A = this chain, B = another copy of it.
């Protein structure tokens, strides 16, 4: 196995998986999805569907116990509602702190978990789908370029120089991600982004708004909204 892709079943990680499969071939790629107590477990079904579409090895972990004491609004244990606003609107009230859907050090945890599994499987690289829209204004600080550089260095050094992190979109926008995915014919019809656990995307949460804007910027209809 050459590459491990952190897969949430959304647009960004599905595009990462498309890139990894293009570069290494499906037989050398593993997708890793994590249940961490999120309300929108539907994304895990999407992660599995996307892995099956590409014919890559799929693994799912349950790390929910680590967030048992978190008050993050994304989690089932929280009494907080998921904001029905854009990230920009939310950030206007957080005084530079992360938004309420920030899961404590989630990307660092997922990358470290992925590193332990990837090293055991002989992989040389981990892909993940952080992009600059999510990092903007410190909404999700674990999506920033600076965080990614530090984490890549930690994984490289801490693995005895055996493993790297690849974040192909960390300086790009979500619209850039969709453009790349359209080029790669990524199976966006299988993906799920909405933070709510409903049958259809709510269209109002931060990630629904970002997703809609990214498709609109590419002049393409989001298949999630097709009948």
Contact = CB atoms under 8 A, between A and B. Distances in A.
Contacts of A65: 61
Interface string A132-143: 000000100110
A117 B160 contact: no
A80 B155 CA distance: 25
A129 interface: no
A130 to B, nearest CB: 10
Contact of A113 (B66, B119, B161): B66
A163 B97 CA distance: 13
Per assembly, the copies of the chain total: 2
Interface string A155-185: 1011111010000000000000000000000
A80 to B, nearest CB: 13
Given A159-B141, A160-B97, A113 B116 contact: no
Contacts of A8: none
A160 B91 CA distance: 13
A218 to B, nearest CB: 29
Given A104-B120, A108-B115, A151-B158, 16 more contacts: A61-B66, A66-B116, A69-B117, A70-B116, A96-B160, A102-B160, A105-B115, A105-B158, A105-B159, A108-B116, A109-B115, A109-B116, A141-B157, A144-B158, A147-B154, A153-B154
